[in-house]
Each structure stands twice: as structure tokens, then as C-alpha cells.
Amino acid sequence: MSRPRIVIVGAGFAGYRTAQTLSRLARGRAEIILLNPTDYFLYLPLLPQVAAGILEPRRVTVSLSGTLPQVRLVLGEADRIDLDARQVHYTGPEDEGGTLTYDRLVLAAGSVNKLLPIPGVAEHAHGFRGLPEALYLRDHVTRQVELAASTDDPERCAARCTFVVVGAGYTGTEVAAHGQLFTDAQVSGHPLRNGMRPRWMLLDIADRVLPELDERLSRTADKVLRERGVDVRMGTSVKEATHDGVLLTDGEFVDTRTLVWCVGVRPDPLAESLGLAMERGRLLVDPHLRVPGRPEVFACGDAAAVPDLEKPGQYTPMTAQHAWRQGKVCGHNVAASFGEGERRAYRHKDMGFVVDLGGVKAAANPLGVNLSGVAAGAVTRGYHLAAMPGNRVRVAADWLLDAVLPRQAVQLGLVRSWSVPLDTASPELARVPGRPERGQPSAGRDGDGGGGGGGAPAKNQPGGEPARNQPGGEPAKNRPGGEPAKNRPGGEPAKSRPTVSPPPDQPQPGPDVAPGPVKRTDHPGEGDS
């Protein structure tokens, strides 16, 4: 008798935990296949520390094949799922097509950056969902400080030293907190930069920082940010973005070359393409994470609208805590569908939250006990070490080195602006010249200019999940990141990939121009405001 085949799409928090649980329960009695664009799981909560130069990129990644020995890894992005034929069609890293058949399917595709219909944002902002975006931001911030130090124009210096972060949820707050420390360290003690004071701004239309958390945690984070020099502006957002800066909703124009978009996320469009019942872009499932009418299909994480049994009538939010725990329950229930154990309903009570504010500062409320300062910092780092499925010693070593040695403020140039556009459907992968986005034809999809905007718009799929307290919602932290793919800027495109020539009114590809069209028009989607 042949072994049943289980295909898991996505290796974020939900997908990785599902594969881990199934491999332990199946004990070789089932074939487990994990389809993912990269060969690692990304521990996304520590991504701000990568952007700030505290952790090396590999520290926040965990090898899939190294930690899931009984799971077969298939590198690729799912393009289409044929539910009737029980097939997953995907595209591999070298543009080769493939098909996987399954007896059970687990959809854990996660989420992507969410756009709002604000002029210029898609062209001039960058998200913070994957490793390429974190590496780009670290290089970009370092470059702006260096360029500011070399100019004699005070206005240009001030513009390059101004960094605007939109969204005061987990990610935006941590990016701004770590960013201020990172840039202050770069200018202190440097003779050519004496007197420079980098300015970080944190914007949100909500009335307080971390609006989704307890108000005491919010006050702690707000106090730390303001004491550190971050310009925190609540009730304010971006009205328009340009190459020279951003126009705020209060009428002020801020000269800047950096706009970091941490507004929120929407579920991966793959879930919506199935044609099944949806809830604001998420696939509806029952409390056992099974899709009604499709007993062979399970979904968890950001891709799934899971009923919250603790709050009847509501669905669990898109957070890493829920994705990780849903993955464990999903693994048990898939095994139970083959007769291995009993299925269980997903039920979860929050055990508290931690927010890393850089240095020794943090805000935390483990088991409802509110902490701040050094105590909160110790709890936060202890929590991350306990939660990571690997690399704990390496992460701890980097933290120790950061405490006793200065950070290396150098730009490596591994990721260019146009290769990490905000509107990408695959934030875990850097854009490859000549390669279309998932599920799109090559023409009109592979170009983006120096501001990172090109290609087709993200569309904010109808029914897409709006960010909480837009535009300061919290991105769900369960998407894997991706190293820059081969054939990066400066190299020739792979021979098997089509090249797209820009239209006559567009610049020819160069060091900072993507090899494709850059014009685009954003269309607001349902759920945007």
C-alpha cells in the first residue's frame, strides 16, 4: 500500500510548524512535501535587528532540510491549485514548471505587503516583509548617512538624514526604535559627520503607538521612542509620496529619501484564487482548520480565517503567535485524517506580548505582568531565544558581540532598490531581471524603477485583509524571507528568461533602473480606505 502524500504550501510560522509536527507523528508512514520559494524558515520578529546591523542575516534563518529531515523540500512558488485533480502547479527558482499531486493539502501561504491607494507610495516606499527588504534597508540607510556627510548643502544633508516609517504596529515601532540607535551610532565620533543628527519619524493614523496592545505597553514604547529622539506623530499619515519627500495628511511636506512601509498585510492572493468561501481575503475554515466541502484541504496562518473560540463570531488575527500554534494543531489534524490520533479544535489564549525597542529597552507583559526597561529587555530576548527553532547560540553570540563591539556600518550592495518593490507578490524573493511575478505574464510585470515601484500593482485584492488601525496595522510575522536570487543587478539575465524592453518614454536599464517598464497605476481594492 502506497504512503499517503501530504503537500504543504509555504514554510512560514504555520507551514513550518505543520511540517515539523507531521514529521514527528507520521514517522515515515506518510510522504510529506514542503513547497517553498526558499530553503529556510525566517524568524521574522528579529528582522529589525538585521536591518539595524545587530544580527547577520543567516542568524534569523533556519534550514528547512537541516531541521525537517523527514520532509521533502521542493523549491518553488505555487502558481495554481487544481482542487478537483488534487494538483499543485508551481514554478521553480530557475523558471521550470512542476506539478505536485496530493492526498492532503495544507495551505499556509502567509501574507504579502498591503498597499493603500496613496499616490507615489508604490513607487517610492519599501516594505519590510522579507530578508531582501531588510538587507536593502540596512544598505540604504547606511548610504544615506554617508551621502549626507559628504555634501555641503545643509538641506540635502537633512533630507538624507530623515527616515520616515509609516505604521506604528509591532514592525514599524521596532524598525524606528532600532533605526534611531543604528544611525546615531554611525554619526557619533565621526569627524566628517560631527553635528549631524539623524531624524526618524513614526507615523500612524491611530491615536497611540501599538494600538492593538495594552495601553500600558503603548505608553512604555512611546516614552522610549520619544526619549531616544524619534519624532512620533499619531493621527498623521502620508497623503502623497514623491522622489524628494512625503506630503503628510496635516499638510506638512517632509524632505526625505527614505519611506518604510509597515502599514499591514493582506493574505497571499493564492488563497483567493481557489474560488472557495473567503473572509476578507482569507480562506474560511472550521475550528479544526479544515476547508468546508473539501475534507482533504486544510489551511492555517495568515491564509486562513480561523474561528476564534475565545471570542465567538470573530476570527483569529494574523499574528505569528496564532500561526505557530495553528500549525501544530493542523499537523495533528492532518495526521488524524489518516487515523493517527484524534483531531482537535484550535483554541488559544494570549500569554502576553513582547516588543523589542533596541539596546536594553523593551515593552512586555508576560502572563499579564507589565514590564519595561532592562527587565522587559531580558524577557523579550529570552522569549525570542526560546521561540526560535534553531540558531539560538549564534543569535546569543551576536547579541553579546553587539554589546561590546561597534557595529560595522558598511553597505554591501547585495540588494538594489528596484529588486524589492513594495507591490511584489513574493516579498521573500528579490526581483529577478526579466522574470514575471507569480501568476502574471512577463510583459508589464518585471519592471520597476529606482524607487522600487515598477511592475503591476499589488491590486489590494478584493476582500483583502485591511491593516488594523490603517495605516498602522501590524504585519503578521509568518512569512519566510529570501536571499537575493541569481542574476542580480549588474549580471546578465538567465538565458532561459525573457527580457522585456522598456517603452520608448522610459529610461534604458542601468545600475539603478530595472530592466522593464516602470509606469503603473494603483487601483484601490475592497477594504481600503
Q: Which ranges in 75-161 belong to alpha helices (H)?
A: 121-124, 131-150, 154-160
Q: Tell me, what DSSP letter sits at residue 492?
A: P
Question: Within the chain, how many helices (H) and strands (E) appear?
Answer: 12, 26
69: amino acid identity, one letter: P
Look up residue 336 and give its three cell numbers: 488524524
Cell numbers of 459, please?
Answer: 491590486
Residue 9 and residue 33 in contact, taking contact as beta carbons nearer than 8 Å:
no
The pLDDT of residue 70 is 92
Asked if residues 92 and 98 have their Cβ atoms less than 8 Å apart, the reply is: yes
| Pairing, β 282-284 against β 304-305 | parallel
- Is residue 384 classed as helix, strand or coil in its secondary structure? helix
Q: Are the C-beta atoms of 149 and 186 separated by less than 8 Å? A: no
Cell of 320: 505569528
Q: What cell does 362 get?
A: 523593551
Distance in angstroms (rounded) separating the CA atoms of residues 455 and 519: 8
- Residue 289 forms beta bridges with which residues? none
Residue 112 has a CB neighbour count (10 Å cut-off) of 28
Q: pTM here?
A: 0.81
- pLDDT of res. 113: 84
Provide the 8-state DSSP code for 309: T
DSSP 8-class letter at 161: T
Contacts of 205 (CB under 8 A, 6+ apart): 234, 235, 236, 237, 249, 469, 470, 471, 472
482 and 132 in contact (C-beta within 8 Å)?
yes
Q: Give the cell for residue 393.
A: 547560540
Give dist(CA 312, CA 332) in Å, integer: 23
pLDDT score, position 190: 77
pLDDT of res. 425: 80
| Ordered DSSP codes for 221-284 | HHHHHHHHT-EEEETB-EEEE-SSEEEETTS-EEE-SEEEE-S-EEE-HHHHTT-S-EETTEEE
3-state SS, residue 370: coil
- Which three cell numbers, joined as nine digits, stand for 486? 541569481
pLDDT at 307: 96
Establish how many alpha carbons lie within 13 A of residue 209's alpha carbon, considering only the half-sphere containing its beta carbon: 29
- Give the separation between CA 107 and CA 334, rounded to whole angstroms: 12
Q: DSSP character for 339? A: T
Asked if residues 124 and 257 have their Cβ atoms less than 8 Å apart, the reply is: no
Q: What string of pLDDT tens digits covers the 529 residues of the chain?
A: 589 999 999 999 999 999 999 999 988 889 999 999 999 999 999 999 999 999 999 999 999 999 998 999 999 999 999 999 999 999 999 999 999 999 999 999 988 888 889 999 999 999 999 999 999 999 999 999 999 999 989 999 999 999 999 999 999 999 999 999 999 999 987 777 777 889 999 999 999 999 988 899 999 999 999 999 999 999 999 999 999 999 999 999 999 999 999 998 888 889 888 999 999 889 999 999 999 999 999 999 999 999 999 999 999 999 999 999 999 999 999 999 998 889 999 998 888 889 999 999 999 999 889 999 999 999 999 999 999 999 999 999 999 999 999 888 889 888 999 899 998 888 889 987 666 666 554 333 333 333 333 333 333 333 333 343 344 444 344 333 333 344 433 444 444 434 444 444 444 444 444 433 333 333 333 333 3
Q: What is the distance, to the nearest Å, from the Cα of residue 98 to the centroid of all Cα atoms in its chain?
A: 26
pLDDT given at position 195? 75
**SS3 for 260-277, per residue?**
EECCCEEECHHHHCCCCC
355: Cβ contacts below 8 Å, ≥ 6 apart: 170, 173, 174, 210, 213, 217, 221, 362, 363, 364, 380
Q: For residues 475 and 110, what is the distance between their CA atoms, to the nearest angstrom?
A: 11
Domains of the chain, earliest start first: 5-37+76-113+266-337 (3.50.50.60), 131-263+352-419 (3.50.50.100)
Rounded distance, CA 263 to CA 476, Å? 11
Residue type, 342: E
Give the orientation angle of helix 215-228 with respect to helix 170-187, to 10 degrees.
20
Q: Distances from the Cα of 334 to the Cαs of 6, 285, 315, 373, 470, in angstroms?
A: 8, 14, 21, 43, 36
455: left (phi over 0), alpha (psi -120 to 50) or beta: left
Residues in Cβ contact with 506 at an 8 Å cutoff, skipping those fewer than 6 apart = 447, 517, 518, 519
Cα distance from N-terminal residue to C-terminal residue, the chain: 54
Report how far residue 301's alpha carbon sits from residue 268's, in angstroms, rounded to the nearest whole number: 11
Residue with cell 501568476: 439
- Residue 264 is predicted with a pLDDT of 81
Which candidate, 368, 53, 29, 25, places its Cα nearest to that of 184?
A: 53
